[in-house]
Amino acid sequence: MALYLVTGGAGFIGSSLVRGALARGDRVRVLDSFVTGRRENLDGLAGVDLIEADLCDEKAVRRAVEGVDFIFHEAALPSVPRSVEKPQEAHAANATGTLVLLEAVRGRPLTRLVYASSSSVYGANETLPKVESLVPEPESPYAVSKLTAEHYCLVYHRLHGLPTVALRYFNVFGPRQDPSSPYSGVVSRFMDAIRTGSPPKIYGNGEQSRDFTYIDNVVQVNFLACEKPAAVGRVYNVGCGSRTTVRELWGSLSRLAGSSLDPVYGPPRVGDVLHSLADIGRAKEDLGFVSEVDLEEGLERTLAHYGLLASGA
């Protein structure tokens, strides 16, 4: 029975990984400061060892990594706009916190550390689809901090033999994503608009596109990254390999939910990337990753979770 540490384990993705590990019969420890994580995400999960602390708390982090076999490093401040306003805060949480974690596990018998990076590291690079070999051109302090942490993980592999893997997530969505949070993604905000009957807000003209990725695909690839020897020391895109505009996303959601709301348009957000699309060929080849849940099914599952799926949809 393995012991998994999930940093940021009370967050949307982190709590899904906690559930995944428990479903496999393994033990789980969570390190979370609850700045963005929610305690209700861990409700009903028996046997989770919870350490409430900041990732920059060296003493708490060393206690958290004691005896662990695998680490899912999900802890972060995931907000582009906030990082523009408070760049030092983003750097401390995302880059410095990762360095503290890596130092805590250096020299320990760890099987794998899987780091949650971000597609935002590609930034201004307009090449589509995004392949891992592209030169990153981050457009926000958030993206810079995630790329910095990614480099730290790979350098610790090369210098110290630490078995690290970096996964660049592309717009993950699904149940338990907090729509009231300023860090929430567009899918959860659209879901909340449907639930409350309020017109959804679209930044820009709605033609910006994303590779929306259902949470179960992300959980799947994280465990594959723990198991496959070829993964160590490498970076992988995690997406569906398909692109949808924000306007099209709202059209699909409103159709599935039977909503007649019209969106309200506002100015583009500073630091946002216009288009994003994952090339997942490397993950397929090395990890055997296949994105099992496409966008339509993922939206149906998420709407159903919240009781918003229209009858017959």
Q: Which residues are catalytic?
A: 142
Contact 15, 174 (CB under 8 A): no
Is the C-alpha dihedral spanning 130, 158, 60, 215 positive or negative?
positive
